[in-house]
Amino acid sequence: MLPPDHQMHSTPHPTGRTAFFLLIVACVTAVQAAGGRVQLARKYCPGQSIVYVTKVSTNSKINSNPPELKSFFPPMPTNLRLNQQSTVTVSSVHPDGAADVQQRFDKFEIQTDPGALPENIRDAMAQAQQEVTQRMVGQTLTVHYNHDGQLVDFDGADSLFHDIDGPVKEPFMQMLRLYLEQMGGESIYPDHRVKVGEEWTRDLSAQPAKNYAFQVEGKNTLHYSGKTRYQGVKVAIVDYHFENTLTPAAEGLRKGGALPQLEAMGMHLTIQITGKGQGRVLVALDDGRVLQNHSNLHQTLSAVMKGNEGSLGSLLPAEQFPRLEIQSDTEMQVDGSNP
């Protein structure tokens, strides 16, 4: 609308005056509408650095029918806690906008609750998490993101964990990947300018990678809720919720030792992991870097063993197929600041 001190100094024809007034209102409205839209895009700059403090908590529950089915799988902790501080620095930017990012761990603490696991497993877990904690501090991963901030791969984890066994390594690797995905802005950015209240979706589909042997299908739905300031930086508030389905690659199961045993018994294993979650992320308006991310994720792993065609196991009713289910809830809080 017109400024309160605005005055007309001429006295045109009433029809012309009305048209002139409507024209001004239309122009001002158009400018306001354009100004209300923002472009959320990741713009990498070599040398750009930020410090993240991260807290992750995962609680799991395991059920099986029959109960003995659990013995086919490696023992795993039901509670996992991660506290870390890391310095993230963009080391190089490629012509297509992709980037290599150095992730240095300044602080790293991982804790698990062994629950009712056998004493030898509890001892192995305690030793493994101590080794991880000592080894991670001061270490650096090289993380590769594409131009949209999606995680492509990361290097350095194999050398850190190659001799760490069993119950800590696998859940930690998955937790680490979740963290790297989220902080790169995985499937956040729209392909157009957005206004307050607008929603958009991003595809979560991905093929198995060398350190994440899962085929992923899913969708992320995002909502631009407005602007605010975070530690003096203008940011966009983006709320999101997502659903995904993960199917593990068979080769990854064979490495764990469970699949060959089942195949030798004339069985085959079908595994699917379904997940859904929600959260809020603060995205810097100048370059799209993620400054804060608080999220919750619920996942259900369902494993069903069926007899191969022609075997006695294939004649069982579907409800009698041996089943295992693992339900997990993960809460992640990440807060960023200048180094």
Q: Kindly indicate the confidence band of residue 33, based on its pLDDT and cuts at 50, 70 and 90.
A: very low
- Is 6 part of a structural domain of the chain? no
Q: Name the domain count of the chain.
A: 1
Enter the tokens of residue 58.
């995962």
Q: Kindly indicate the confidence band of residue 200, based on its pLDDT and cuts at 50, 70 and 90.
A: very high
Q: Kindly indicate the confidence band of residue 302, based on its pLDDT and cuts at 50, 70 and 90.
A: confident
pLDDT digits (tens, 9 = 90+) for 267-296: 667 788 899 999 999 999 999 999 999 999
Q: Whole-prediction pTM value? A: 0.76
- Is 2 part of a structural domain of the chain? no
Q: Phi and psi at residue 62, in whole multiples of 5°?
A: -115, 130
Q: What is the mean pLDDT of residues 232-260?
A: 77
Report yes or no: 1 and 21 within 8 Å, Cβ to Cβ.
Answer: no
Which residue has tokens 């069993």? Answer: 166
Report yes or no: 290 and 183 within 8 Å, Cβ to Cβ.
Answer: yes
Residue 22 confidence (pLDDT) above 70 = no
| Highest averaged pLDDT of the listed ranges 107-121, 209-223, 232-246 | 232-246
**Nearest Cα residue to 271 out of 301, 251, 314, 308:** 301
Q: What is the DSSP string of 213-271?
A: -EEEEEEEEEEEEEEEEETTEEEEEEEEEEEEEEEE-HHHHHHHTHHHHHHHTTEEEEE
Percent of the chain with pLDDT over 70: 70
Q: Kindly indicate the confidence band of residue 16, based on its pLDDT and cuts at 50, 70 and 90.
A: very low
For residue 303, the 8-state DSSP code is E
Enter the tokens of residue 47.
């040398």
- Is 35 part of a structural domain of the chain? no
The answer to which of 6-20, 153-167, 233-247, 270-284 has the lowest mean pLDDT is 6-20
- Is 332 part of a structural domain of the chain? yes
- Which has the higher per-residue pLDDT, 156 or 140? 140
Q: Across the strands, what pairs with 241? A: 221, 278
Q: Across the strands, what pairs with 113? A: 79
pLDDT at 184: 75
The answer to which of 74-83, 138-147, 234-243, 251-260 has the lowest mean pLDDT is 251-260
Residues 331 and 299: their CA atoms lie apart, in Å, by: 12
The amino acid occupying position 204 is L
| Span between the terminal Cα atoms of the chain, in Å | 44
Phi/psi region, residue 187 (left: phi>0; alpha: psi -120 to 50; beta: rest), is left
- Domain that includes residue 271, residue range: 41-337
pLDDT at 241: 95
DSSP alpha helices (H): ranges in the chain? 14-35, 119-136, 157-161, 166-184, 250-256, 258-264
Residues 230 and 283: their CA atoms lie apart, in Å, by: 9
pLDDT at 30: 34
The answer to which of 12-16, 215-219, 278-282 has the lowest mean pLDDT is 12-16
Residue 249 confidence (pLDDT) above 50 = yes
Query: What CATH number is attached to the domain comprising 88?
Result: 2.30.230
Q: What is the mean pLDDT of residues 85-103?
A: 94
- Which has the higher per-residue pLDDT, 92 or 249? 92
The answer to which of 38-47, 80-89, 279-288, 306-315 has the lowest mean pLDDT is 306-315
- Is 136 part of a structural domain of the chain? yes
Q: Across the strands, what pairs with 127? A: none
pLDDT at 221: 95
- Is 20 part of a structural domain of the chain? no
Q: Kindly indicate the confidence band of residue 102, based on its pLDDT and cuts at 50, 70 and 90.
A: very high
Residues 27 and 34: their CA atoms lie apart, in Å, by: 11
Q: What is the mean pLDDT of the chain?
A: 77
- Is 29 part of a structural domain of the chain? no
- Is 1 part of a structural domain of the chain? no
Sequence-separated (6 or more) residues with CB below 8 Å from residue 13: none
- Which has the higher per-residue pLDDT, 231 or 210? 231
